[in-house]
């Protein structure tokens, strides 16, 4: 599996120099707000005091570590800072947290302090073996305060510390598996920050008599444009006058200083013009974050739903809104196919008022990126009232839906800022597929061979998503050709139809063009009357079992003058005889096709909207989180 890391959750920053660290750290955190977060915090080394014994690794002074944390906005943290005139120091670290392990709270917010108060850490990433390390340290009597995976880093560091900061840190990170970008300060080493990186981003900013680190350029760009990119496995020792970088063996290495010329706005979007494009491009990373921690030895492991007994249910009901509902339509097909259980999918705004027939033998799956959608919450309450068990698939940790559900699986897609969901949708579908395979294993409705083959295909999704992005560099050309069609159709059968629903919604919500998704075989029952010369029909042709059938529908619309843009698998030669234009995606298991097939359609919607001059990230009349009925 390709190593894509998880580079979007949380933001970290650090400063050491001659100026007060507090305001600089807060400004850095404000710049990182765009990444999405639910709490924030800073730690500083407060005024130095003389270390008479001179015992501290060569330094003859020490200091006290002070922390401030706040749930919610960085502005809350800034208010707390203003109220603490003694919160002074010239070296510190800061963090915006997007919860993954443990709800958003002051206790779970970073920085985390070691039990002896000697070290403070900020961390972006996920420590996969945190439970083992935590259990081990607890045996030595070390008490943990938070529910986070991060706290093990700082407790282990304090445990390993015998006077040499660098040695203790190297020993600590050698134990960690997963991803991390960390910044650490100690009360015994005034002015020194250590930073380390593995599969999460971290850059060092070079100033004059002051140096910085951060998750990305945004937090640094107003202070310096000279940066060092830390690579995986490397450790940096940052002091006001010097930055030393070491490889994983501890040997000092030379690093190049890079000059950047981005302004703040382009830095926030990692150089992309819009968050939507950034999030489309993040999908391989997001899928990896969703999938990888839940696969062990080709087996799907959901620690989150231990105790969920699939044998108790005689049917499954999926409910959600918008794109999440479209993900549910895909989920219905996968669960039915693998688990041989009756599954329905229904929009939450209908289900909530329908008096549905369900009882304690019904499993309801609710899907929501934000976890705050009013209709979805109301529908799930109705289902719970009727005795159903509710399993939520949610992106935002600690959201209302996550809390109300009996069980919750997080997609871990990272914050999604653009109103039009992209990585939110693909990670929902991937998780539904994983759930279906897991449930089929529990119900024994899948053979060992089919189970393993599905798991392998699921694990390949991140690199196939990357391939779909790489293959579709010409989508912009297609958008330039078709952008002024005022009304168009998306057609497909089975899985392709489910993707048509999402492709059509993507286009209409950001480009304001009228578009409809149709089950390809249904066109001739009325809608074909609307097909006329020049009308664009986007034909989804990846569900190969029904390819020939979809081809006849293509021929029917072409006979009436339509232009056809097809999406098909790489290697499908015959589609070029049928369609005017073709977008290709890599092969995958038929049940997983939607994760990959939607990608060129997201790009198509993006470029059509751009060509039409639309406000892509904030389309008119829409909100990211629909908390009203």
Minimum Å gap between C-beta 328 and ligand M6R is 10
When asked if residue 368 is in the footprint of ligand M6R (CB under 6 A), the reply is yes
Q: How many angstroms separate the CA atoms of 405 and 379, rounded? A: 12
**Does residue 39 contact residue 102 with C-beta atoms inside 8 Å?**
no
Q: How many angstroms separate the CA atoms of 486 and 560, rounded? A: 18
Catalytic residue selected from 10, 339, 542, 614: 10
Minimum Å gap between C-beta 334 and ligand M6R is 18
Using the rule CB under 6 A, which residue among 223, 370, 389, 550 binds ligand M6R?
A: 370
Q: Which long-range contacts (CB under 8 A, 24 or more apart) does 114-118 make?
A: 114/154, 114/155, 114/157, 114/158, 115/142, 115/143, 115/155, 115/158, 116/158, 117/64, 117/65, 117/187, 118/65, 118/158, 118/161, 118/186, 118/187, 118/188
Q: How many angstroms separate the CA atoms of 494 and 537, rounded? A: 17
The piece of 56-64, 70-78, 364-372, 519-527 that touches ligand M6R (CB under 6 A) is 364-372
When asked if residue 466 is in the footprint of ligand M6R (CB under 6 A), the reply is no
Minimum Å gap between C-beta 421 and ligand M6R is 4
When asked if residue 421 is in the footprint of ligand M6R (CB under 6 A), the reply is yes
Nearer to ligand M6R among residue 130 and residue 490 (C-beta):
490
Compute how many residues bind ligand M6R; rule: CB under 6 A.
Answer: 16
How many residues belong to the chain? 629
Q: Per CB under 6 A, which of residues 231..290 are in contact with ligand M6R? A: none
Minimum Å gap between C-beta 484 and ligand M6R is 23
The site string for ligand M6R over 490-529 (x = CB under 6 A, - otherwise) reads -------------------x--------------------
The piece of 236-244, 278-286, 315-323, 596-604 that touches ligand M6R (CB under 6 A) is 315-323
Q: How many angstroms separate the CA atoms of 155 and 172, rounded? A: 9
Q: How many angstroms separate the CA atoms of 274 and 271, rounded? A: 9
- Closest by alpha carbon to 97, among 38, 57, 56? 38
Q: Which residues partner with 246 through β-bridges?
A: 235, 252
Using the rule CB under 6 A, which residue among 29, 333, 334, 420 binds ligand M6R?
A: 420
List, in sequence order, every beta strand (DSSP E) within 5-118.
Answer: 11-16, 39-50, 61-71, 91-97, 112-113
When asked if residue 376 is in the footprint of ligand M6R (CB under 6 A), the reply is yes
Alpha-carbon 163 to chain mean position: 38
The piece of 119-127, 180-188, 272-280, 416-424 that touches ligand M6R (CB under 6 A) is 416-424
Using the rule CB under 6 A, which residue among 200, 215, 224, 369 binds ligand M6R?
A: 369
| Cross-sheet strand order for the sheet of 563-569 | 514-519, 487-492, 536-540, 563-569, 581-585
| Cross-sheet strand order for the sheet of 315-320 | 342-347, 315-320, 362-368, 389-394, 407-410
- Closest by alpha carbon to 153, among 76, 178, 337? 178
The piece of 368-376, 521-529, 566-574, 590-598 that touches ligand M6R (CB under 6 A) is 368-376
Catalytic residue selected from 88, 384, 618, 624: 624
**Does residue 370 contact residue 392 with C-beta atoms inside 8 Å?**
no
Minimum Å gap between C-beta 573 and ligand M6R is 34
- Does 10 participate in catalysis according to the annotation? yes
DSSP 582: E
When asked if residue 321 is in the footprint of ligand M6R (CB under 6 A), the reply is yes
The piece of 179-187, 256-264, 334-342, 419-427 that touches ligand M6R (CB under 6 A) is 419-427
Q: Per CB under 6 A, which of residues 597..626 are in contact with ligand M6R? A: 622, 625-626
The piece of 34-42, 227-235, 367-375, 553-561 that touches ligand M6R (CB under 6 A) is 367-375
Q: How many angstroms separate the CA atoms of 122 and 109, rounded? A: 9
| Chain position carrying tokens 């390993």 | 160
Residue of minimal Cβ distance to ligand M6R: 322
When asked if residue 553 is in the footprint of ligand M6R (CB under 6 A), the reply is no
When asked if residue 322 is in the footprint of ligand M6R (CB under 6 A), the reply is yes
Q: Which residues partner with 514 through β-bridges?
A: 487
- Does 624 participate in catalysis according to the annotation? yes
Q: Which are the catalytic amino acids?
A: 10, 624
Q: Which residues bind ligand M6R (CB under 6 A)?
A: 321-324, 368-370, 373, 376, 419-421, 509, 622, 625-626
């Amino acid at each position: 599996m390709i190593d894509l890391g998880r580079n979007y959750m949380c933001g970290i920053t650090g400063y050491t120099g001659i100026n007060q660290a507090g305001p600089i750290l807060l400004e850095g955190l404000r710049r990182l707000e765009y990444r999405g977060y639910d709490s924030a915090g800073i730690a500083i080394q407060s005024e130095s005091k003389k270390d008479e014994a001179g015992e501290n690794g060569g330094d003859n002074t020490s200091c006290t570590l002070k922390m401030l944390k706040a749930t919610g906005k960085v502005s809350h943290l800034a208010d707390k800072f203003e109220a603490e005139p003694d919160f002074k120091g010239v070296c510190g670290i800061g963090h915006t947290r997007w919860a993954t392990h443990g709800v958003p709270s002051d206790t779970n917010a970073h920085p985390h302090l070691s039990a002896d108060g000697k070290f403070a850490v900020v961390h972006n990433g996920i420590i996969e073996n945190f439970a083992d390390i935590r259990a081990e340290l607890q045996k030595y009597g070390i008490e943990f305060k938070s529910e986070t995976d991060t706290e093990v880093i700082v407790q282990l560091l304090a445990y390993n510390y015998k006077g040499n900061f660098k040695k203790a840190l190297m020993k600590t990170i050698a134990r960690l598996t997963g991803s991390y970008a960390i910044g650490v300060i100690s009360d015994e080493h005034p002015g020194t920050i250590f930073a380390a990186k593995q599969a999460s981003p971290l850059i060092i900013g070079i100033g004059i008599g002051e140096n910085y680190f951060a998750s990305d350029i945004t937090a640094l760009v107003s202070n310096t444009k000279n940066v060092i990119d830390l690579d995986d496995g490397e450790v940096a020792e940052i002091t006001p006058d010097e930055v030393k970088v070491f490889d994983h063996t501890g040997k000092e290495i030379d690093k190049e200083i890079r000059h950047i010329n981005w302004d703040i706005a382009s830095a926030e979007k990692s150089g992309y013009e819009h968050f939507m494009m950034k999030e489309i491009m993040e999908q391989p990373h997001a899928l990896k974050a969703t999938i990888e921690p839940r696969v062990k030895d080709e087996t799907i492991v959901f620690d989150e739903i231990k105790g969920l007994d699939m044998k108790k249910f005689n049917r499954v009901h999926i409910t959600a809104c918008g794109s999440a509902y479209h993900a549910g339509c895909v989920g219905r097909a996968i669960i039915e196919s693998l688990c041989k259980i009756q599954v329905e999918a229904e929009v939450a705004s209908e289900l909530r008022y329908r008096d549905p027939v369900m009882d304690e033998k019904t499993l309801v799956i609710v899907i929501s990126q934000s976890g705050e959608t009013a209709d979805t919450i109301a529908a799930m309450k109705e289902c719970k009232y009727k005795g159903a068990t509710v399993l939520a698939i949610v992106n935002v940790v600690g959201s209302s839906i996550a809390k109300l559900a009996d069980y919750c699986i997080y997609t871990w897609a990272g914050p999604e800022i653009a109103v039009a969901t992209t990585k939110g949708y693909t990670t929902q579908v991937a998780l539904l597929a994983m759930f279906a395979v897991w449930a089929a294993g529990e119900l024994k409705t899948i053979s060992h061979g089919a189970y393993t083959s599905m798991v392998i295909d699921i694990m390949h999704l991140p690199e196939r998503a990357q391939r779909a992005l790489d293959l579709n560099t010409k989508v912009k050309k297609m958008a330039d050709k078709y952008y002024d069609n005022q009304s168009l159709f998306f057609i497909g059968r089975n899985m392709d139809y489910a993707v048509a629903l999402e492709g059509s919604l993507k286009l209409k919500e950001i480009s304001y063009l009228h578009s409809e998704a149709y089950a390809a075989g249904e066109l001739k029952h009325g809608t074909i009357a609307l097909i006329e010369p020049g009308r664009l029909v986007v034909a989804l042709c990846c569900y190969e079992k029904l390819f020939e059938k979809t081809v006849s529908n293509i021929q029917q619309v072409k006979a009436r003058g339509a232009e056809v843009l097809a999406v098909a698998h790489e290697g499908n030669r015959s589609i070029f005889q049928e369609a005017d234009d073709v977008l290709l995606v890599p092969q995958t298991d038929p049940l997983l096709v939607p994760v990959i097939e939607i990608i060129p359609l997201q790009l198509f919607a993006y470029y059509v909207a751009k060509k039409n001059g639309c406000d892509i990230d904030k389309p008119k009349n829409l909100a990211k989180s629909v908390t009203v009925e």
